[in-house]
Amino acid sequence: MKHLSQLTRHQFLNRIYNYKQYPDEFIYIGTSPCVVVVGSSGSIFCRELEPALEIMAKRNKDHYGIYYIDVSADEELAKALKTDKFPVVYLCPVKSTPTIFKGTINIREISEMAGRVLTALRKM
């Protein structure tokens, strides 16, 4: 995947959310807006969503980053994020609380919500 970045737990802790430092509140630590999609390779829906996320990442690379995390490979991260449904989508604007969506959501909805939430806050 050229435009969709896969994150490891270490990268997630350093770029997105340090759940060890702030276990009770998701505090986005990044410096530019992003969409973080948490999925599982065991989920058919998540596997089918990846190509669409790649297209979305390519189209929006100048506005916000898009990251994918496969928690099936990292039990600690899955527990820390309290993930029970997949995918989980975090819309992370800078200096604001992330908006979180859980469960089945289509790529058009993700793209529209990301555009509204991340682009609007970037202009403030």
The pLDDT averaged over each successive group of 10 residues in the chain (124 residues) is 82 93 89 90 83 86 88 85 83 86 80 78 49
Query: What's the whole-model pTM score?
Result: 0.85
Dist. CA 13–CA 27, nearest whole Å: 11
Report H helices in 24-116: 44-60, 75-80, 107-114
Specify the fold of 5-122: Glutaredoxin (3.40.30)
What pLDDT sits at residue 108? 82
Q: What is the pLDDT of residue 19?
A: 92
| Strand ranges (E), the chain | 5-6, 34-39, 65-70, 88-92, 99-102
